[in-house]
Amino acid sequence: MKRGTCMVAVAVVTSFVLFGGVGTSAQAQSAGLIQIGTHPVGAFFNIVGTAVGKVIDARTPMKAKVAPLSGPSAWMPMMVTGEMDLGVCNATDANWGYLGKETYGKISKGKGFPLRLVLTGIYNDISVGVAKDSGIKTLKDLKGKRVAAGFANSPAVQHQFLSALANAGLSIKDVKVIPVSAPPPAMKAVLEGRADASGSVTTGMPVFAELAAKKGALLLSFDPSPEAKARALKAYPHGWLNLVKGGQYPGVDVDTWLLRYEIYVLARADLSDGAVYDIIKAMWDYNSDLPPIHNKFKEWEKENYASKLLLVPYHPGAVKFLEEKGLWTSDLEERQKGLLTGKK
């Protein structure tokens, strides 16, 4: 319980130490400043952005500022203006943002955003989260319940929730949706008693740790049977089911099947090759700096810096580094070409 409370405090304090407002492109370039867009404080994406910022600050000549915003739909347009240099989100939102699909088609006027991948390496494991005393023990138990979801500022998160429902043989019509913009407000709705469940909770999420510390919490397991798994991955094809061992994270007391996906650290396409190279190199060289920031970062392994799915093309500065480390494969090269060609 103390660990959960501590993680929340660290997330909030660190984000605000690093975050000092979003400057203009000219200001950032002259100061060697890297602006990092994330989800709100309380989301694991914010913790990832904070960790990247700490490494940039400590291990490169550049400085970083973390900007906790409502989600990628807020910071992706800032890549176009140069107000944002890096951003952190799930691989699906990154892909849709790059191609101009779903919500991102409207806000980019169908053009998509100039995004390039810097690195991955860390995964999110996700499901629906509830208070332990809610009476909800399985995903099937969500039928007729109030679930905080919608996630207008991160469309892929809503599809992850739909994946959880599909896994249980349910649809959005089977629950009472309490509209929220992002995962932290969803958890707040549960904490305040306005919702029975949050449609999106990840292992290591500070605001879920807060619920675990105050009332006890449970992250609902996916059904790994072939039929249920197929339904889940049809709803969210950019993920896979992963068995998380019990006792590692708040709300996961026993071995639990969760939906896993890649987290992307993205750069605007015109960020200099040298800056991107220095960032991924620092993250690689000082990978051991990450686990003390958050327990889940022990899973941030170097061999996973090369994406398994590659849904957004790599930045040239990152390609150079991955080539040097022998991680740039012919398969990645083909997928890179396909993504770049498909955008033209």
Q: Which of 204, 233, 261 is the last residue of a domain?
A: 261
Confirm if 186 and 39 have CB atoms less than 8 A apart: no
Q: Which of 261, 285, 300 is the last residue of a domain?
A: 261
Whole-angstrom Cα distance, residue 86 to residue 185?
A: 23
Whether residues 191 and 202 share a domain: the answer is: yes
Whether residues 142 and 250 share a domain: the answer is: yes
Whether residues 32 and 118 share a domain: the answer is: yes
Q: pLDDT tens per residue, the chain (344 residues)?
A: 434 434 333 343 344 334 344 443 333 343 489 999 999 998 899 999 999 999 999 999 999 999 999 999 999 999 999 999 999 999 999 999 999 999 999 999 999 999 999 999 899 999 999 999 999 999 999 999 999 999 988 889 999 999 999 999 999 999 999 999 989 999 999 999 999 999 999 998 888 999 999 999 999 999 999 999 999 999 999 999 999 999 999 999 999 999 999 999 999 999 999 999 999 999 999 999 999 999 899 999 998 999 999 999 999 999 999 999 999 999 999 999 999 998 75
CATH of the domain at 118: 3.40.190.10
Number of domains in the chain: 2
Whether residues 257 and 162 share a domain: the answer is: yes
Q: Half-sphere exposure (CA, 13 Å, Cβ side) for 60?
A: 24
Whole-angstrom Cα distance, residue 255 to residue 245?
A: 4
Whole-angstrom Cα distance, residue 238 to residue 156?
A: 10
* φ and ψ of 188, to 5 deg: -60, -40
Whether residues 256 and 137 share a domain: the answer is: yes
Three-class DSSP category at 22: coil
* φ and ψ of 250, to 5 deg: -55, 135
Domain that holds residue 195: 124-261
Whether residues 223 and 286 share a domain: the answer is: no
Residue closest to 7 by CA, chosen among 301, 256, 208, 216: 208
What's the pLDDT at 344? 57
Whether residues 114 and 155 share a domain: the answer is: no
In the chain, what are the helix, strand and coil shares in percent, each to the nearest 5? Answer: 45, 20, 30
pTM recorded for the entire structure = 0.85
Confirm if 33 and 63 have CB atoms less than 8 A apart: yes
